Amino acid sequence: MSPEPFSFAVTHTDGLARRGVLQTPHGSVETPAFMPVGTRGAVKGITHRDLEDAGAQIILGNTYHLHLRPGDALIARAGGLHSFIGWPHPILTDSGGYQVFSLAAMRKVTEERVEFRSHLDGTPCALSPERATDIQAQLGSDIAMVLDELVGAPVPVPGSDPRTAPVQDPDETRRAMERSVRWARRARIRLLQLRDDPRSDPGVIVANPAQAQFGIVQGGIDPRLRTESVQGTVEIGFEGYAIGGLSVGEPVDVMYDVVGLTAPQLPEDRPRYLMGTGMPDDLVECVARGIDMFDCVLPTRNARNGQLLTRHGVLVIKNAQYAEDHQPPDPACGCYTCRHFSRAYLRHLFMSGEMTGATLLTVHNLYFYLDLMAKIREAIGFGSFGNLRLEFHQTFSRRPQQLNI
């Protein structure tokens, strides 16, 4: 019997950490999994071949950017996003909510929709829960996210204690959370309409009739609002659930607390996705709190800024100390970059403005992230995740430093 178009099963647990398998129309994904971010249909600085070699099983596409250029209708006519970009493996698409959130000066949020102006040319645009669902139906991703509204954390007052300073307006956070639940219901209704009759709307080409949809839990850092959001979103019924509205300025220990509160309240038989997080130690800590899926631009963005993420921490390749350092970036790493090139050469490329430097750093950083997830899965399977977690924190440091490894 052929597998279901979309399914998820937890195969091992170790404390709250979970190992599982996500089955999609374009293949399976072993979890916990990290999804490289392919904003405009490409993960910056790396080819699909190198992504596969690094161990990527699933990538993320950006609904907002792909809708504006080249357009979801064009992509649908090409057979969907998988065909258009030449990636045969699973794809998750976001709803565009975070990008609209980032356009604070150019947006207007109403109950019906969010109106904004294109960052490309200022053209008036709008997204509703239904429209975001239609766009993703045309993209044909394996997993589509509902449109939500999130509230960021204001910058702390200089000199204040970030652990105790108020970071969010409670009334605004509640309004956004409740609207997100209402929008999630509308998005679900729309997807089920398209799923039941893919030809019901002649203006929408359904590129993947088996597309799954994830709901998003909001509520800022308020435990009560997070619990209310979980209850309202789970009641609607989705194939999976995401925790949104974090990594927007709150202290990292606050993020861990919110994840630790929220993840165990989500259904055990559905995947749990923490959106937009984060540093390698964040992945370890949030796996320990029950998260199955992650995405973040950090490994690719930091590579373009000359930072290598290693098992000991952050290596800033432009530093003069590496000018004649002929060691690999991380001697224990098995990636293509570490097997073939020295710190001195990579520094030369970065200082010369050669694009190859950013590519080689990207290859390493994504390999490091994906290899870390593979090691986490293996440890959960053997019941040794606690040891991996302890050993990781003993060696990894967030602060850029001189690395003599």
14 falls within a domain:
no
Residue 68 shares a structural domain with residue 140: yes
* Per-residue model confidence (pLDDT) at position 118: 86
Q: Which residue is catalytic, options 50, 94, 325, 330?
A: 94
* Per-residue model confidence (pLDDT) at position 102: 73
Q: Is the pLDDT of residue 150 over 90?
A: no
Is residue 14 annotated as a catalytic residue, yes or no?
no
For residue range 389-401, list pLDDT tens digits in order: 999 999 999 877 5
Residue 249: pLDDT band with limits 50, 70, 90: confident
- Cα torsion angle, 336, 338, 344, 349, sign: positive
Q: What percent of the chain has pLDDT over 90?
A: 84
Q: What percent of the chain has pLDDT over 70?
A: 93
Of the residues 269, 296, 323, the one at which a domain ends? 296
CATH code of residue 238: 3.20.20.105
Residue 248 shares a structural domain with residue 345: no
Residue 381's CB is within 10 A of a number of other CB atoms, namely: 13
User: Is residue 282 a contact partner of residue 237, using CB atoms and an 8 Å limit?
Assistant: no
Determine the structural domain holding residue 145 and report its residue range: 62-154+168-296
50 falls within a domain:
no
Residue 340's CB is within 10 A of a number of other CB atoms, namely: 10
Residue 117: pLDDT band with limits 50, 70, 90: confident
Residue 254 shares a structural domain with residue 330: no
2 falls within a domain:
no
Q: Show the CA angle centred on residue 230, arms to residues 227 and 234, nearest 5°.
A: 150
Q: Which residue is catalytic, options 14, 148, 282, 295?
A: 295
Residue 202 shares a structural domain with residue 149: yes
315 falls within a domain:
yes
C-alpha distances in Å from residue 337, one per residue of 145, 301, 316, 323, 326: 34, 17, 15, 17, 13
Of the residues 275, 296, 317, the one at which a domain ends? 296
Q: What is the mean pLDDT of residues 267-296?
A: 97
Is residue 222 annotated as a catalytic residue, yes or no?
no
DSSP state at residue 140: T
Residue 282 shares a structural domain with residue 335: no
* Per-residue model confidence (pLDDT) at position 9: 98
- How far is it, in rounded angstroms, from Cα 66 to Cα 73? 10
Residue 370 shares a structural domain with residue 247: no
The number of folded domains in the chain is 2
Q: Regarding beta strands 37-38 and 17-24, do their DSSP bridges make them parallel or antiparallel, or are they unpaired?
A: unpaired
252 falls within a domain:
yes
Residue 228 shares a structural domain with residue 365: no
Residue 255 shares a structural domain with residue 345: no
User: Is residue 60 a contact partner of residue 38, using CB atoms and an 8 Å limit?
Assistant: yes
Q: What is the mean pLDDT of residues 232-259?
A: 95
Q: Regarding beta strands 307-310 and 313-316, do their DSSP bridges make them parallel or antiparallel, or are they unpaired?
A: antiparallel
Residue 312 shares a structural domain with residue 289: no
Exposure on the CB side of residue 208, measured as CA atoms within 13 A = 29
Token representation of residue 173: 């956070």
Of the residues 261, 296, 331, the one at which a domain ends? 296
110 falls within a domain:
yes
Tokens 């064009």 belong to residue: 74
Residue 274 shares a structural domain with residue 200: yes
* Per-residue model confidence (pLDDT) at position 20: 98
Residue 321 shares a structural domain with residue 270: no
Containing H/E element for 242? Answer: strand 240-243
C-alpha distances in Å from residue 344, one per residue of 186, 313, 320, 347, 363: 55, 18, 9, 5, 17
Q: Regarding beta strands 124-127 and 114-117, do their DSSP bridges make them parallel or antiparallel, or are they unpaired?
A: antiparallel
Q: Is the pLDDT of residue 3 over 70?
A: no
For residue range 378-390, list pLDDT tens digits in order: 999 999 999 999 9
Q: Is the pLDDT of residue 403 over 70?
A: no
Residue 221 shares a structural domain with residue 356: no
